[in-house]
Structure 1
Amino acid sequence: MTTNPQDEKTSQKFTAGNALELVAYQAGAVVSREIVKKKTGTVTLFAFDEAQGLSEHTAPFDALVQVLDGVAEITIGGVPHRLGKDDMILMPANVPHALKAVERFKMMLVMIREATG
């Protein structure tokens, strides 16, 4: 991991690294690691073992998923979408969605909350 040379001039440190290395697969499990947590949104990395998933649910704001490794089936509003490495999809607010690992996969989930005046 490297550090931005301008760290001394900023109040926040910036680092660079490989997202795939920040979350590890675990047998029979879904692993998550929150990378950014702000009032305005979050960025979370997930690693799903094969056949693992998240049951159908909704979120009150849009969520963007980017598959980093492997293959996933993401169902949005009852419509399944098969995604592989480097594919991304938007899960709209308040629309039921579910995720399942066709083969083990890693993803980045970006959730942005709307500002309320």
Structure 2
Amino acid sequence: MNDSTTISKGTPFHLESSVAYAIGSVVSKTLLKKTAGNITLFSFDAGQGLSEHTAPFDAVVHILDGEADITIGGKTSTVAAGEMLIMPANVAHALHAQKRFKMLLIMIRSE
């Protein structure tokens, strides 16, 4: 599911309230999409997640609300609101919501 609320450049906004939870769903909202990378907000309802995959670039995850179980290279960490982690490029990772959570994902492309 993709949240349709628009974020205006140059106008302050609150990250956590800029993406809503949806029952039984993952909601994503792209804030910025450029050749250099993407910034995307997500909300995950309890029991939802992203299956194991790899990405060709490092990605920063900042948990805004709740907590996420994030598995990187077979090792799972519980990451809580206010915490961040870097998912390294080309290493399998997955996300799962034991409880619902919101996160900001920043992916920066590089050579």
Q: Aligned equivalents of 1:13 and 1:92: distance in 2?
A: 29
Q: Could you say which structure has the larger radius of gyration?
A: 1
Higher strand share: 1
Determine if the alignment matches structure 1 residue 14 to structure 2 residue 21: no
Determine if the alignment matches structure 1 residue 104 to structure 2 residue 100: yes
Partner of 2:22: 26
Pick aligned residue for 1:41 from 37, 61, 65: 37
Q: 1:58-80: per-residue Cα shift (whole Å, max 9, x none)? A: 00000000000001100000000
Long gaps (5+) in structure 2: 1-7
Partner of 1:67: 63
Long gaps (5+) in structure 1: 1-11
Q: Aligned equivalents of 2:9 and 2:49: distance in 1?
A: 33
- Give the Å deviation of 1:15: 1.6
| Aligned residue pairs, count | 104
Q: Aligned equivalents of 1:57 and 1:29: distance in 2?
A: 19
Q: Following TM superposition, where does structure 1 have runs of at least 4 consecutive aligned residues deviating by more than 4 angstroms?
A: none
Q: 1:13 to 1:45 in 2, by over 3 A?
A: closer
Partner of 1:85: 81
Give the letter for the 2:23 counterpart. Answer: A
| Cα RMSD for the two superposed structures | 1.2
- Give the Å deviation of 1:107: 0.1
Give the letter for the 1:22 counterpart. Answer: S
- Give the Å deviation of 1:13: 4.1
Give aligned-pair identity as a percent: 55
